[in-house]
Chain A
Amino acid sequence: MSQGTERVPVSAGSGWDLPADLDKAPATVPDPATTPVPEELRAEIEAHMALYPDPRSATLPALAAAQRVHGWCSPEALEQVACVMQLTPADLAAVATFYDMLETTPVGRHSIYVCTNISCSLCGADELYEAIRTAAGDDAELNVRSFECLGACDIAPMVSVDGIYIGPLKVADVPQLLEDVRAGGEVLPAKQLARRPCADQEADS
């Protein structure tokens, strides 16, 4: 996935311009008899499929589930989802490469999305992103990415750590932020969005 703020070609990594190996036979729908799928993952995908009139609607939740198991949408993960959903791996690769939250290369266990869209950048998000990247260094556990608007401009500049929204953040908060992420517990609890009251004073009177 290309990142919003970096100078990369528009199509970089989005999958549609990757060279195809024309000598290779196209992958077909995996045979359930010969494709091992972890039982819990299979159960989760099948539960999602049962929710929709067309089971194919479960593609996104299924890929998200496989990503939680495998860490990313690896060829093996796609193969397993394809097996349960009875689709080709290519059907799934086409979908996985479209969405920012589905990772098509191996990444760190903890995702740190730094919003660098307009409102956050007006409040210093670009400096914050650079500071987090520098502080994270080459820590293989951390997946630090600049992200498009995360819908939390009221706490700009902000980050989403494994789905938990935190802000407003200063560059000075970065060491504590990363320390908390690495420790695996609550991350900057006082700055989490969930604890923030509504800005509209009259709403609570």
Chain B
Amino acid sequence: MKLLFDRIDEPGLNTLEVYERRGGYDALRKALAMPPEAVLHELEASALRGRGGAGFQMGKKVSFLPKGGMDKYLVCNADESEPGTFKDRELMQKSPHVLIEGIVIAAHAAGTTRSFIYIRGEYVQQADVLDAALAEARAAGYVGEKILGSDTSLSLVVHRGAGAYICGEETGLLDSLEGKRGNPRLKPPFPANQGLYQGPTLINNVETLATVPTIVRMGGAEYAKLGVETSTGTKLVSVSGHVQRPGNYEIELGVPSREIIYGLAGGPPEGRKVKCWFPGGSSSPVLTGEDLDIPYDFDSMAKAGTMLGSGAIIVVDDSTPILDVALKVAKFYRHESCGKCTPCREGTNWTVTMLERIESGEATPMDLEIMASVQEHIIGNCLCVLGDAMAMPIGSMIAKFRTEFEAHMATKRLAAA
């Protein structure tokens, strides 16, 4: 079933004309005719879980915003920087109006009057597409003062980032949007109470907000019938790495992972096998070729000790040494650590150093223990989860491929001697 990707390549879908011809902004009309509480009720009934990584229920998040007449904000997180993730990119480029429509409906439900799309700076073409779509939507009265004659008003600004993974973390994003370095903030207070400019702020991922018009159209209860009980609906999955047909696929949550990796993406090249795979971006603990029958949904992945994350599957086949994967991942988090918290700043750096020692043959078996303990000391000890996002996959690689690490160390040491 295709909801977000329904005829996604239709020429001109990025224009208002084609989008309206397909029934675009009808959901907004329907929502504006409903009181905000009724729209919120539909969102809660859909049980839609956030598509950015944390998987928190969107309706609940909206309900956490305090009621009343203060300045409240809605921020769409379009920073999509989790390695392996590229679903929001395709959606924004080809169907920008569905995102704008979702934002306006969500703002109506949450009672926010100012909204922002924080898009990563590298997505130049997508930001241009959004700007053009926004201008059209504004001219047609879908965004601005007294939208379609209702009492709901909303301003919307496309804000371009400048290249920093940490700005995908919601509080780092807020600091960046306020014109500062993208350093994460201490939580609580959570953004719902104190976010942008210290005001109550709703932050949601692109895919989450783009799903809102569908929920309003279908009704929350009907939407909740899709997928499985605790993971409702469809999900865009980015599949990449060693697969024959990399790309974005819309699946119903709960399908076997094998169906995505082999059925849709074609599996690894001929003659190769899946060695390990990240189910939810490079921050998720790796699974192996044994785990392909795990259903692809939030809770099944959590039960398997990993996470659905942003819905980005990265497949590594058996031609690649695990050390190469670990080093690549660790170097990324070292580069992107903002430096605010010591366990992350030092931990990511030392993990890279130790992995390089293993690679060059200078390591002893004890280093593997030290490296595993460094990971444990990062987790839960920082303001945000960037450090955890390295510690979890690296820890899982040491646990699942220990013999390969040890064999590499032994061979390298022999060669050095």
Contacts and interface: CB of A to CB of B under 8 A. Distances in A.
Contact of A122 (B85, B89, B242): B242
Contacts of A113: 122
A3 B332 CA distance: 10
B71 interface: yes
B357 interface: no
A14 interface: yes
Contacts of A95: 179-181
Contacts of B314: 118-119, 122, 153
20 contacts: A4-B331, A7-B356, A52-B157, A53-B197, A54-B197, A57-B159, A57-B179, A60-B159, A117-B328, A118-B329, A148-B332, A150-B122, A151-B123, A152-B89, A153-B240, A153-B312, A200-B248, A200-B264, A204-B8, A204-B9
Of the candidates A11, A14, A56, A199, the one having the most CB atoms from chain B within 10 angstroms of its own CB is A199
Nearest to B266: A199
- Interface size range of chain A in the complex: 35 or more
A58 interface: yes
Nearest to A61: B160
Nearest to B161: A60
A129 interface: no
Interface in B109-140: 114, 120-125
B70 to A, nearest CB: 12
A3 to B, nearest CB: 8
Interface stretch (B58-66, B76-84, B219-227, B295-303): B76-84
B345 interface: yes
Closest 7 pairs (CB-CB, A-B)? A199-B247, A163-B124, A153-B240, A59-B179, A100-B163, A99-B162, A101-B163
Contacts of B161: 60, 99
A10 B330 CA distance: 12
Contacts of A200: 2, 5, 8, 247-250, 264
A51 B165 CA distance: 24
A203 B356 contact: no
A64 B159 CA distance: 12
A149 B83 CA distance: 5
A98 B164 contact: yes
Contacts of A16: 339
Contacts of A163: 122, 124-125
A95 B120 CA distance: 16
Nearest to A63: B162
A19 B239 CA distance: 45
B240 A154 contact: yes
Nearest to B336: A148
- Interface size range of chain B in the complex: 35 or more
B82 A149 contact: yes
Given A203-B2, A203-B250, A122 B316 contact: yes
B246 interface: yes
B288 interface: no
A72 interface: no
A119 B83 contact: yes
A2 interface: yes
Interface in A86-139: 94-95, 98-102, 113, 117-119, 121-123
Nearest to A121: B328
Contacts of B176: 60
Contact of B179 (A58, A152, A202): A58
A118 B86 CA distance: 13
Contacts of B349: 10
A150 B84 CA distance: 9
A143 interface: no
Contacts of A5: 331
Contact of B240 (A52, A156, A164): A156
B402 interface: no
Interface in A142-191: 147-156, 160, 163-165
Contacts of A102: 162-163
A199 B249 contact: yes
B7 interface: yes
Contacts of A27: none
A149 B238 contact: no
B334 interface: yes
B157 A64 contact: no
A194 interface: yes
Contact of B178 (A57, A119, A193, A194): A57
A197 interface: yes
A20 interface: no
Of the candidates A101, A123, A151, the one having the most CB atoms from chain B within 10 angstroms of its own CB is A151
A18 interface: no
Contacts of B146: none
A7 B327 CA distance: 12
A22 interface: no
Interface in A1-60: 2-5, 7, 10-11, 14, 16, 51-54, 56-60
B2 A64 contact: no
